[in-house]
């Protein structure tokens, strides 16, 4: 491999002009089991849709190319075992083609199947964790293949065991989904509520249409999807803000907690459409930051920190970034 630098701009959807000397592709599990990492850090990439390399990365970049999907069923359930390098949207499209309901609300979420349990990806009232029954992974320290059940993944909002106890310790190789054949369609959320008695294909097509209208295509303009998480705050915090902003949208999460759209907070402060040093807060969706004009990692971090500071000042809410930000050898937390 040598020490020449390889561009990372095609390996992360934000597309910053950065590079790495050590890039390794894995096409099957035996390669992962045999590989000895020579660097002090390594990062596992699927399609790089939730990772931004903010500068040249000097650890090893592992690119997941594991592929394969098997479908089976019994009277009550569909079972789908999927290699972690498969494209997520292709899996959803495949299910819709076969008339398997359940995942259609998660159409067009970028990335690989292996990333889905880490993030517990969710959209339009559905989270993937409810359908995951098994995650297979390689323990990177012992180089053994292991499995945990969906329950053991401790899924939460954009959260799982893979962000805590197993963070940086495993390479997810396969995800198994179990979907009840009588699974209910979810159309209560946002613009899906306008559909009357939709088929799963109707929901799938509507979700794609909404996402394409709201979110920029990374192939056209570099971005990593939603940059910030939607914050969950207490009822008392919420009421204090609502006194000043009666029109603030919200979703009740529990009796004590409320989820507030981060995009609304950012938009209310006038960031939407702003461009700073080549980085733009997207004109249609304030939750998304884009690489509008040859931005840099430094500019992205500075703009994101400005948004976080202003939201904290005005609303008393500290936004967290959903996107994984990488420096020379480690993650950056804003």
Q: Are strands 251-252 and 257-259 parallel, antiparallel or unpaired?
A: antiparallel
Q: What is the pLDDT of residue 1?
A: 42
Determine the angle formed by the axes of helices 200-214 and 88-97, rounding to 10 degrees: 150
Domain 6-64: state its class. alpha beta
Domains of the chain, by residue range, sit at 6-64, 69-210, 218-332
Among residues 9, 55, 152, 158, the one annotated as catalytic is 158
What is the mean pLDDT of the segment spanning 169-177? 98
Q: From residue 271, give the alpha-carbon distance in Å to each of 48, 91, 218, 233, 287.
A: 25, 35, 20, 22, 10
Average the pLDDT over each of 67-81, 212-226, 312-326 and give the range with the smallest value.
Answer: 212-226
Annotated active-site residue 55? The verdict is no
Q: What is the pLDDT of residue 190?
A: 84
Q: From residue 321, give the alpha-carbon distance in Å to each of 167, 205, 252.
A: 17, 29, 21
218-332 CATH: 3.90.78.10
Q: Are strands 144-149 and 251-252 parallel, antiparallel or unpaired?
A: unpaired
Count Cβ atoms below 10 Å from residue 232 Cβ, excluding itself.
17
What is the mean pLDDT of the segment spanning 155-171? 95
Q: What is the pLDDT of residue 3?
A: 60
Which residues does 84 contact at the CB level (< 8 Å), separation at least 6?
46, 64, 66, 112, 113, 114, 172, 173, 174, 175
- Residue 124, classified by CB atoms within 10 Å of its CB into exposed (0-12), middle (13-18) or buried (19+), is buried
Q: What is the pLDDT of residue 302?
A: 98
Q: From residue 106, give the alpha-carbon distance in Å to each of 28, 92, 116, 208, 319.
A: 27, 7, 10, 9, 24
Residue 2 reports pLDDT greater than 70: no
Q: What is the pLDDT of residue 79?
A: 98
- Residue 36, classified by CB atoms within 10 Å of its CB into exposed (0-12), middle (13-18) or buried (19+), is exposed
Distance CA 278, CA 92 (A): 34
CA 152 to chain centre: 20
Distance CA 195, CA 217 (A): 25
Radius of gyration of the chain (CA): 20
Q: What is the pLDDT of residue 231?
A: 96
69-210 CATH: 3.30.465.10
Q: Which of 148, 49, 53, 52 is nearest to 89 (CA)?
A: 49
Q: What is the dihedral of CA 204, 210, 213, 217, to 10 degrees?
A: -50
Mean pLDDT of all residues belonging to the chain: 96
Q: What angle do CA 21, 216, 222 make, to 5 degrees?
A: 20
Residue 233 reports pLDDT greater than 80: yes
Q: For 198-225, what is each residue's pLDDT tens digit?
A: 999 999 999 999 999 989 999 999 999 9
Q: Are strands 19-20 and 51-53 parallel, antiparallel or unpaired?
A: unpaired
Annotated active-site residue 158? The verdict is yes
What is the mean pLDDT of the segment spanning 181-204? 95
Annotated active-site residue 322? The verdict is yes
Q: For 259-285, what is each residue's pLDDT tens digit?
A: 999 999 999 999 999 999 999 999 999
Among residues 314, 322, 328, 330, the one annotated as catalytic is 322
What is the mean pLDDT of the segment spanning 51-65? 97
Q: For 241-253, what is each residue's pLDDT tens digit?
A: 999 999 999 999 8
């Amino acid at each position: 491999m040598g020490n020449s630098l390889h561009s990372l701009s095609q390996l992360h959807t934000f597309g910053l002009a950065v590079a790495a000397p050590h890039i390794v592709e894995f096409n099957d599990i035996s390669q992962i089991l045999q590989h000895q990492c020579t660097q002090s850090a390594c990062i596992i990439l699927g399609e790089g849709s939730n990772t931004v390399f903010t500068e040249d990365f000097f650890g090893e970049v592992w690119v997941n190319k594991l592929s394969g999907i098997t479908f089976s069923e019994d009277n009550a359930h569909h079972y789908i075992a999927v290699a972690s390098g498969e494209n997520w949207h292709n899996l959803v499209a495949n299910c819709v083609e076969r008339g398997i309901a359940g995942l259609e609300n998660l159409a067009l979420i970028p990335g690989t199947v292996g990333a889905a349990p880490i993030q517990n990806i969710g959209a339009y009232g559905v989270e993937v964790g409810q359908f995951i029954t098994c995650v297979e992974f390689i323990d990177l320290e012992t180089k053994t293949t292991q499995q945990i059940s969906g329950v053991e993944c401790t899924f939460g909002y954009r959260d799982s065991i893979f962000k805590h106890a197993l963070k940086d310790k495993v390479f997810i190789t396969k995800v198994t989904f179990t979907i009840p054949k009588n699974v209910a369609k979810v159309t209560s959320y946002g613009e899906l509520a306008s559909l009357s008695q939709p088929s799963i294909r109707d929901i799938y097509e509507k979700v794609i249409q909404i996402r394409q209208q709201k979110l920029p295509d990374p192939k056209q303009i570099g971005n990593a999807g939603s940059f910030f998480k939607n914050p969950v705050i207490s009822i008392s915090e919420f009421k204090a803000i609502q006194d000043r902003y009666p029109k603030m949208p919200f979703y009740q999460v529990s009796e004590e907690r409320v989820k507030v759209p981060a995009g609304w907070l950012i938009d209310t402060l006038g960031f939407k459409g702003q461009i700073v040093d080549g980085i733009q807060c997207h004109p249609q969706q304030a939750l998304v930051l884009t690489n509008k004009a040859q931005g840099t990692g430094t500019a992205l971090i500075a703009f994101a920190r400005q948004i976080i500071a202003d939201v904290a000042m005005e609303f008393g809410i500290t936004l967290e970034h959903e996107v994984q930000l990488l420096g020379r050898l480690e993650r950056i937390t804003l």
